[in-house]
Structure 1
Amino acid sequence: MFTEIMQYILDLGPSVMLPIVIILFSLVLRMKVGDALKAGIHIGIGFVGIGLVVGLLTSSVGPAAQAMAERFDISLNVVDVGWPGAAPMTWASQIALVAIPIAIAVNIVMLLAKLTRVVNVDIWNIWHMTFSGALVYIATGSYWLGIAGVIVHAIIAYKLGDWFSKVGDALKAGIHIGIGFVGIGLVVGLLTSSVGPAAQAMAERFDISLNVVDVGWPGAAPMTWASQIALVAIPIAIAVNIVMLLAKLTRVVNVDIWNIWHMTFSGALVYIATGSYWLGIAGVIVHAIIAYKLGDWFSKDTKEFFELEGIAVPHGTSAYCGPIAVFVDAVIEKIPGINKINFNAVDMQKRFGAFGEPVTVGLFMGIMLGLLAGYGVKETLQLAIQTAAVMLLMPRVIKPIMDGLTPISKQARKHLQSKFGGQDFLIGLDPALLLGHSTVVSASLIFIPLSIFIAIILPGNEVLPFGDLATIGFFIAMSVAIHQGNLFRIIISGSIIIAITLWIATQMVPLTTQLAINAGTITDGSSISVGAMDQGGSPITYIMVQLVKLKQPIGFAFIGLFYLFCLFLTWKRAKRYELFLKEQQIAQSDEIKK
């Protein structure tokens, strides 16, 4: 009777057996009957789907494999029957009669003894354990040794489940992060392919005659990696990070290797300006130190505004433009009346309802860009839908990254804290994480035409924003957090940031052009000049270049003193936040004691 029941259950196959087990298990856990039934049916459907795909693979690849064997006259005389043949043979063995209850009993004992965290509900695949037991029985003739084979295989299987669950989590996290960055790339690509031509058409329509085109970070980064400094920049930047961590000068553990190109750019331009390789290396080191400190100082913003727990953004324009926004915020706070103006995305949604939603704002911004570019109705509407899509998709493609980063950053911080006496660490990551915020996307769309307008009216500017226009959000992302999403302040600080960036980028054109020549991007002796807003317009790079080879004393004095003051205000702001956190901890501790 028992044999017949077991055989009947086994004959149902995994697509029926596993749903039944899942339903029963769900009911034991006191799930609602409907929910348990739904879960079981979904799993059954999944196995049916797997069967269809495996069947497709077998019917298509099987004949091809057989033809390949015949073509190359492969004379191996044993054919692999695979699991579709091995499983039925195993379930027909004598060991199979008791294998399922034994495997379940082993699982229960291990759970009670806290030797595993695996609660196995996949009854069908107990055939693997049974196969081991069956072969031991055939080899020895001992039924009890066969049973022991099942038990040993079961123990190993459940422990592998424990061990690989951690590997699986890491793999899943890595895949999610990769998917997120692929998503960002796709959305940025959509933005570039739609807004880029519109910006170019706008420049041509208004006859803007700026004679140096911004190559943007997509042009500047490859030129930088082709420089001589790039050979040692990554290990140097990593070494600086390690030394600062050991000396407790930073909490940032940088894992964003790609964006070391920003530090490398500074070093490369110092090298070109001076001809000294060692001064170039010093440029990388100084920029790295400043970057890691900026990651510390803006941790408040990444945590509280962007809700990136345990994450720092020490790199690129987002980080080094942040101090300018801190200065602007401090000045506005001192002006009565102006300091009360607050216009943000939440207000827009409250005032305008559906017309204030990010998607609708994106649509209207696209229409405005299309009109400025002189597009027809068709092209304008297409651009509007594309910018609306960016507003909707950018926050969503950030989610997989955060799903992947959250467990990794928590585990990394926990591990580092246990090794370094409870010190709180931050994982340094790409500023692309900040682009997912709806206010950042809204501000980015505003600054596309605004950046071109600033470029036209700025005295002494020769650089036409182009390569960085589609990703102009990098320049103002940290400003959005510093100003708490207040678009009024963001437009003011962002305009100052863009103006300073364009002015510095213009002064750096000869060095940026030489970097492009060294990289083979353009030929020596050509009349082409190269400009780069991202990093080519960085105050950090400009100050270092002027320090080693002063050519513009007035500009250096103004930019140098202004930016150092901005860094000082940023440091003070971070210190106030640290003091606030300490006072909060003391208050919580006192509350617990009461």
Structure 2
Amino acid sequence: MDAFLNGVSTVFQALINAGAYVMLPIIITIIGLVFRMNIGKAFKSGITITCGFVGINLLVNLLKSAVSPAASAMVANFGLNLDVTDVGWGAISSVTWASPIVAFLVFEILGINILMLVLKLTKTMDVDIWNYHHMMIAGILVFFVTNNIVWALIATAFTAVMTLKFADWTSPLIEHFFGIPDVTLPTISYTSSIIIAAPLNWVIDRIPGLNKVNISIRNVQKYLGIFGDPMMLGLILGCAMGALALMPIDQIFLTGVNVAAVMVLMPKMTAMFVEGLMPISDGAQKFTTKHFGGQSLSIGLDAAVVVGNPEVITTALIMIPVTIFLAFVLPGNRMMPLADLSVVTFRVALVVALCRGNVFRSILISIPVMAAILYAGTFAAPYLTDLATSTGLSFDGQIASMAGPSLTQTAIVFWTCISENAIILVPVAVIIFVAVWFLVEKKIGMEKIEAYAAEYEEME
């Protein structure tokens, strides 16, 4: 049995190792052909989307390279010495893909997605296979702890269904706030924050005075002139982060210039991405109108396509020192934020969209979102460390990440499936799922999101 599992896993590793830049144009071309597009037009769309995606990822990596040294220096300057180290999402991803049951979980997620599409339970066709690791880590951890494949499959299934539905419910924000139509983002590092953000946003909407505070780049620019421009704001925030890290003056300015460059160039790469997406979107709508009675269909992609939004970057740059401070003062926290500080953008992007660019409210809500990540990472560290060690990795002390079981959604599934009190926790997980549906799908709703979008456009 082990030989069979390892053989199947090897085949999948070869496909995954081909990389998104190789497989994405192929997948998009195949999707275009399924939608009855001309092969030349489908292939051009695939290449254009991939080029936009390459540009976005290059800029995301530029932001990481600018932020990471400053974040690491701040951790050292603040005197943090916690015993659970944030090793980054990349390490967690490699551990996930090294599992002997990974191939079964990939097929399970694909099957669930197809079944939900056929039954019209989702509109998300998730082609972002490289981020399946976010959905699989709960099942892999459950399998490692319990050695029970059934519970592992249940954990993965529940995670996949939650992710697809959260992506569906938040898709209007992608179109009306980020300006990318017919796309959903089933990336748990992006969707997970909605569990905390939706109820908090609902509460703030009902607090007199607080619900009127609205600070965004758009209204700041009215008062600050050139200094409110996204490029200048990026320069200021980047330099401020370098100064907090006590970096040399040349490094402070270099950090600022790199952040400013991301602020300027990211919208251009996003526009290229959307340009390639539009023919696929049109083909999908014609196909579904003909064969599925007009059922709406969206392509599920990596959340990297939205993290370059100026409000997202601004909120993330502010939240990095705030997260370090939280790690220091939160009672019971043992997780030292480090490697994943550079990807806080993914953790706050949906919060920013939900708050329609209100940076003040986004920061207010992101504080408990990041606190929950620190606590979940602390509690899951022994299990994650043992799992990583079993794959041959070695660490000095316990490890965590701001991904995997540290994310609220994954943590709920993981602790429910390994708990002896699952009979209590399963209803709790279902209640959380229904609460998010009620607050996002019903209480916010399309009409209100469109109103938010109109309000946002007026600020530009």
Bin the TM-score by the shorter chain.
0.7 to 0.9
Contact kept, 8 Å, 1:233 with 1:260, in 2: the verdict is: no
CA distance in 1, matches of 2:383, 2:421: 14
The counterpart of 1:532, out of the listed 375, 380, 401, is 401
Contact kept, 8 Å, 2:183 with 2:298, in 1: the verdict is: yes
CA distance in 1, matches of 2:334, 2:207: 34
Tell which structure's C-alpha radius of gyration is larger.
Answer: 1
The counterpart of 2:438, out of the listed 553, 571, 582, is 571
Match of 2:95 in 1: 223
Secondary structure in structure 2 of the residue aligned to 1:324: helix
CA distance in 1, matches of 2:123, 2:211: 33
Deviation at 1:216, TM superposition (A): 2.0
Does 2:169 match 1:292? no
One-letter amino acid of the structure 2 residue matched with residue 294 of structure 1: F
One-letter amino acid of the structure 2 residue matched with residue 550 of structure 1: S
The counterpart of 2:292, out of the listed 413, 420, 438, is 420
Superimposed CA distance per residue, residues 166-193 of structure 1 (whole angstroms, 9 cap, x where no aligned partner): 3222222111122122212221222222
Does 2:245 match 1:245? no
Match of 1:435 in 2: 307
CA distance in 2, matches of 1:491, 1:413: 37
Deviation at 1:566, TM superposition (A): 7.0
Superimposed CA distance per residue, residues 116-171 of structure 1 (whole angstroms, 9 cap, x where no aligned partner): xxxxxxxxxxxxxxxxxxxxxxxxxxxxxxxxxxxxxxxxxxxxxxxx99322222
Deviation at 1:350, TM superposition (A): 0.7
Secondary structure in structure 2 of the residue aligned to 1:193: helix
The counterpart of 1:452, out of the listed 324, 330, 334, is 324
Match of 2:153 in 1: 281
- Please identify, of 202-211 and 347-356, the stretch whose mean Cα deviation from structure 2 is larger: 202-211
Does 2:216 match 1:336? no
Deviation at 1:552, TM superposition (A): 9.9
Match of 2:240 in 1: 368
Contact kept, 8 Å, 2:82 with 2:335, in 1: the verdict is: yes
Contact kept, 8 Å, 1:229 with 1:267, in 2: the verdict is: no
Match of 2:343 in 1: 471
The counterpart of 1:353, out of the listed 213, 221, 225, is 225
CA distance in 1, matches of 2:322, 2:190: 18
One-letter amino acid of the structure 1 residue matched with residue 262 of structure 2: V
Contact kept, 8 Å, 1:397 with 1:436, in 2: the verdict is: no
Deviation at 1:236, TM superposition (A): 0.8
Superimposed CA distance per residue, residues 437-471 of structure 1 (whole angstroms, 9 cap, x where no aligned partner): 21112112111212111111111111122222111
Secondary structure in structure 1 of the residue aligned to 2:207: coil
Sort the Cα spacing of 1:201 and 1:560 in 2 relative to 1 into closer, same or farther, 3 A. farther
CA distance in 2, matches of 1:563, 1:211: 33
One-letter amino acid of the structure 1 residue matched with residue 440 of structure 2: R
| Unmatched 5+ stretches in structure 2 | 1-35, 452-460
Match of 1:377 in 2: 249
Match of 1:549 in 2: 418
TM-score (norm 1): 0.66
Match of 1:306 in 2: 178
Deviation at 1:436, TM superposition (A): 2.6
Deviation at 1:212, TM superposition (A): 1.9
Match of 1:388 in 2: 260
Deviation at 1:287, TM superposition (A): 0.5
One-letter amino acid of the structure 2 residue matched with residue 357 of structure 1: D
CA distance in 1, matches of 2:314, 2:403: 20
Superimposed CA distance per residue, residues 345-366 of structure 1 (whole angstroms, 9 cap, x where no aligned partner): 1011111011011111111111
Contact kept, 8 Å, 1:332 with 1:339, in 2: the verdict is: yes
Contact kept, 8 Å, 1:301 with 1:481, in 2: the verdict is: yes
CA distance in 1, matches of 2:40, 2:162: 36
Give the length in aligned residue pairs.
Answer: 413
Deviation at 1:416, TM superposition (A): 2.6
Match of 1:408 in 2: 280
Match of 2:78 in 1: 206
Deviation at 1:497, TM superposition (A): 0.5
Sort the Cα spacing of 1:188 and 1:569 in 2 relative to 1 into closer, same or farther, 3 A. closer
Secondary structure in structure 1 of the residue aligned to 2:191: helix
One-letter amino acid of the structure 1 residue matched with residue 442 of structure 2: K
Match of 1:506 in 2: 378
Does 2:107 match 1:235? yes
TM-score (norm 2): 0.84
Secondary structure in structure 2 of the residue aligned to 1:334: coil
CA distance in 2, matches of 1:233, 1:440: 32
| Unmatched 5+ stretches in structure 1 | 1-163, 585-594
- Please identify, of 328-337 and 399-408, the stretch whose mean Cα deviation from structure 2 is larger: 399-408
Deviation at 1:544, TM superposition (A): 2.3
CA distance in 1, matches of 2:130, 2:341: 21
- Please identify, of 291-300 and 538-547, the stretch whose mean Cα deviation from structure 2 is larger: 538-547
Secondary structure in structure 2 of the residue aligned to 1:427: strand
Deviation at 1:495, TM superposition (A): 0.7
Sort the Cα spacing of 1:220 and 1:284 in 2 relative to 1 into closer, same or farther, 3 A. same
CA distance in 2, matches of 1:465, 1:307: 32
CA RMSD across the alignment? 2.4
Contact kept, 8 Å, 1:229 with 1:264, in 2: the verdict is: no
One-letter amino acid of the structure 2 residue matched with residue 404 of structure 1: G
Match of 2:9 in 1: none
Sort the Cα spacing of 1:322 and 1:165 in 2 relative to 1 into closer, same or farther, 3 A. closer
**More contact order relative to length (CA 8 Å, sep ≥ 6):** 2
Sort the Cα spacing of 1:563 and 1:434 in 2 relative to 1 into closer, same or farther, 3 A. farther
Superimposed CA distance per residue, residues 405-431 of structure 1 (whole angstroms, 9 cap, x where no aligned partner): 121122123213321122112221111
CA distance in 2, matches of 1:545, 1:175: 38
Q: Percent identity?
A: 34
Deviation at 1:387, TM superposition (A): 1.5
Match of 1:487 in 2: 359
